[in-house]
Amino acid sequence: MSSLLKKAFLNAKKENRPALLTYTVAGDNTKKKSLEILKSISNFADICELGFPHNTPIADGGQIQTSAYRAIKNGIKIKDVFSIVKNFKKSKKNTPIILMGYYNMIFQYNENKFLEKCKKTKVDGLIVVDLPYPENKSFASRCKKNGVNFIQLVSPTTSQIRLKKIIKDSHDMLYYISMLSTTGGKLKVSPKKILERYNKIKNQNKSKNVVIGFGITEKTIKSLKKADGLVVGSAICREISKSIERRQNTVTNVTNIVKRLRNKIQ
């Protein structure tokens, strides 16, 4: 059985382009709005990452922090995150959803209950920022058993031996962090260098879909289009902040930026 994630990558490949992955925070700036944004951008994005916000995010830069704090302030709870996914899937059942967040939220909810809920609401994948390999081994294998992709992260500091082990333990997708940075940093490594490292990972096992994230904006996305997939997060969160500040329509503005991103890799 092929996962929705795999299919999304395959579809993009058929069109000879990388898959476009977006990241938005659930509940930013309200539950209703974030669902509307998600539905609208999924017309142009292949895979949607949805953050469940935490108030002590140790790997996120300013843009995503702002979105997370805003969502928490507006009362977002884990149960709302799942209900957003559920509602999204009602009309967009073929668009994969990846939940992304920090481990304490899952730990407090209870790992198994969390997975149960993922399964029920048809979450396709999970990224847990502060649960690295091998600490994630048991949880990751339980995810797999429940049909949820546990997405392993790889960074420029990951050693070759470690990389091999991580790939062996990974599911359909790997996430390559482009540089030493929190999310939303300025791309400080040349695209050429990033793609070199990307190829090293890719060459280990061609069947794994490897996406690149961190530092990807309208300006930089085209230069990395050889990858299987590209993730844009902070640039979108920034657009939400800007739209709110200017009292403009967040759904329209965010959809437009995603549309432009998609056109750049077409």
Partner 1 sequence: MGGGKFGGSFIPETLKKPVEDLTNEFKRLRNNKEFLKKRDYYFKNYIGSPTSFVKLENLSGHLGGAQIWAKVVSEANGGAHKIYNATVHALICKAMGKKYIVGDTGAGYAGKMLSMAAKKFGLKCKIFMGAKDIKRQKPNCDAMRKNGAEIVPVYSGSQTLVDAVSECMRYWVSNCDNTHMCVGSTVGPNIFVKICGWSTAQISRELKTQLKKEFKKIPNKIKLINCVGGGSSAYGFWSEFIDFDKKQIELIGVEAGGPKKSKLHAAPLSRNAKVGILHGAASYVCQNKEGQINDTESISAGLDYPGVSPIHCFLKDSKRARYTYATDEDALNAHVMVTKFEKLNPSLEPSHAFAEAIKIAPKLSKDTIIIVNSCGDAKKDRDILRERLGKH
Question: Interface with partner 1 includes 147 (CB under 8 A)?
Answer: no
Say which DSSP state 43 is in.
T
**Binding residue (CB under 8 A) for partner 1 from 7, 30, 92, 109:** 109
| 204 residue type, one letter | Q
Asked if residue 160 binds partner 1 (CB under 8 A), the reply is no
Choosing from 113, 180, 219, 260, the residue that interacts with partner 1 (CB under 8 A) is 180
Interface residue with partner 1, options 17, 92, 103, 256 (CB under 8 A): 103
Residue 55 interacting with partner 1 (CB under 8 A): yes
Residues making up the chain, counted from first to last: 266
Query: Alpha-carbon distance 195 to 144, whole Å?
Result: 28
For partner 1, which residue of 87, 146, 155, 223 counts as binding (CB under 8 A)? 155
Counting beta carbons within 10 angstroms of the beta carbon of residue 108, is it exposed (0 to 12), middle (13 to 18) or buried (19 or more)?
Answer: exposed
Give me the active site residues, please: 49, 60
Q: Are 233 and 49 in contact (CB under 8 A)?
A: yes
Stretch that binds partner 1, among 18-26, 70-78, 138-146, 258-266 (CB under 8 A): 70-78
> Around 135, how many Cα atoms within 13 Å sit in the side-chain half-sphere?
7
Q: How far apart are CA 177 and CA 161, in angstroms?
A: 17
156 binds partner 1 (CB under 8 A): yes
Interface residue list for partner 1 (CB under 8 A): 54-61, 65, 69, 72, 77-78, 102-105, 107-109, 129-133, 135, 153-159, 162, 177, 180-182, 185
